Amino acid sequence: MAAMALRHAVLAALEEGEASGYELAKRFDVAVANFWHALPQQLYAELTGLERDGLVRGRRVRQAKRPDKRVYRLTHAGTDELHRFIHAPTRPTAIRDELLVKVHAADGPELGAAIAALEERAGYAAAKLERYEALVASILNGRDEAAYLRESPRVGPYLTLARGRAFESENVSWCRWAIGALRAREDEGHTKEDHRWRAP
Amino acid sequence: MAAMALRHAVLAALEEGEASGYELAKRFDVAVANFWHALPQQLYAELTGLERDGLVRGRRVRQAKRPDKRVYRLTHAGTDELHRFIHAPTRPTAIRDELLVKVHAADGPELGAAIAALEERAGYAAAKLERYEALVASILNGRDEAAYLRESPRVGPYLTLARGRAFESENVSWCRWAIGALRAREDEGHTKEDHRWRAP
DNA sequence: TGTAGCATGTAAGTGGTTACATGATTTA
DNA sequence: TAAATCATGTAACCACTTACATGCTACA
């Protein structure tokens, strides 16, 4: 059977309460996208499949002044499936990143382009990190982290947010370090004799 | 057009020298898998496609006592395509990890299973980290890192290895931290009254 | 009057995994 | 004689991305 990848992320998200496809997309954006990215089309398709398989049930909600929506909640079978998944073996993950392909390859004449790519990524990661920090702060809302971890009714989302934050933080540090290393070599390429002349 | 994902990872790996499909699979295993995982079947298929498109050229090498092999090297078009890729915009990456789906969801009755999954991952990541450390040590071979970064003819593979190492190191730390937080709550669940009784 | 938000999809294509398939040589 | 290494693939399936499609309401 294997993966059913997105499926369990959707079930996990619905555990926090019923949602329409549209609402689910937003929920993914703030809480799930850190560790499982999905496009709205995928979510709509997945919800249809989950309902077909009896893991969620949808009901139509009429709205004044807004289009009707279809709101889904977990069935018992859905909760069971989620629990089964949590107990099943976990596949390890690895980074899969175009940027690293570039850095791996861009050692020679394309060094400048690699540095540019690293700089762009450093900026992107720093911006994402800032958003994560803000989210963490708004969840803690002045409380001490240790106290929150002890007392909050649910900590799962906080823990996963922390993982996303650590990832982006690591991205920023690594990019900056790599930029430094490559820039030093770029300079060296232009002034090689000078350096050799000063060395013992 | 878009991704062509594996394609450029293969071109980058072949930049370090010609290889057969089998040799490429091993090269991926030690140097590329940190940031782009691929199965041997995929590599064979990709090499066929790359040759069809003129980006690599293969030649048959007869071997005594071993099956013949087909060894591929980059063509000029292949090198150009790799450079074009390095200059093209870089897509950002995100974590996509089953474990985090479990932690996000497993806040309630499945807390024990989430802790078990975290422990398994912590062990896996620690083992991978150890291998990365050993690889780093064998690349540096007693040299100082700063000196290596200045003087080595190529640093790309070292930089990407450092990223993989940081990722696994972060995995270990985060898993241990999350285990601690969840275990404290597990205990709390069994001895809730006691804690309340001691609190002011 | 145009942009943003609400609301939901289909269709086609790309990329990746899993299962299956074959057969020789070297080492334990 | 069994397992590991060398060597290369095919076929079927699953998961994800990209492009396209529709239409209503609120607000600036």
pLDDT digits (tens, 9 = 90+) for A115-163: 999 999 999 999 999 999 999 999 999 999 999 999 999 999 999 999 9
Identify the pLDDT of residue A1. Answer: 42
Task: Suggest the residue from B82, B90, B188 to mutate for an interface test with chain A (most A CBs closer than 10 A).
Answer: B90
Question: What would the pLDDT profile of A29-40 be if each residue is shown by its tens digit?
Answer: 999 999 999 999
pLDDT of A199 over the 80 cut:
no
Chain B CB within 8 Å of residue A121 CB? yes
Identify the pLDDT of residue B191. Answer: 42
The DSSP annotation for B115-133 comes to: HHHHHHHHHHHHHHHHHHH
- Mean local confidence (pLDDT), A160-171: 98
Using CB atoms and an 8 Å cut-off, which of residues 17-56 of chain A contact chain B? 31-37
Closest by Cβ to B35, choosing from A12, A32, A95: A95
Closest by Cβ to A96, choosing from B36, B108, B117: B36
Identify the pLDDT of residue A188. Answer: 74
Asked if A166's CB is within 8 angstroms of B96's CB, the reply is no
Using CB atoms and an 8 Å cut-off, which of residues 54-73 of chain B contact chain A? none
**Termini Cα distance of chain A:** 64
Q: Using an 8 Å Cβ cutoff, are B102 and A86 in contact?
A: yes
Identify the pLDDT of residue B194. Answer: 39
Identify the pLDDT of residue B49. Answer: 96
Question: What would the pLDDT profile of A175-194 be if each residue is shown by its tens digit?
Answer: 999 999 999 998 876 444 33
Return the ∠ at Cα B64 (arms to B62 and B66), rounded to 5°: 85
Write a three-state SS string for chain A. CCCCHHHHHHHHHHCCCCEEHHHHHHHHHHHHCCCCCCCHHHHHHHHHHHHHCCCEEEEEECCCCCCCEEEEEECHHHHHHHHHHHHCCCCCCCCCCHHHHHHHHCCCCCHHHHHHHHHHHHHHHHHHHHHHHHHHHHHHCCCCHHHHHHHCCCCHHHHHHHHHHHHHHHHHHHHHHHHHHHHHHHHHHHCHHHHHHHCC
Question: What would the pLDDT profile of A44-95 be if each residue is shown by its tens digit?
Answer: 999 999 999 999 999 999 998 899 999 999 999 999 999 999 999 999 999 9
**pTM: predicted TM-score of the whole model, two decimal places:** 0.92
Pick out chain B residues at pLDDT < 70.
1-3, 189-200
Distance from CA of B61 to the nearest CA of A (A): 26
Asked if B185's CB is within 8 angstroms of A121's CB, the reply is no
Closest by Cβ to A170, choosing from B12, B166, B188: B166
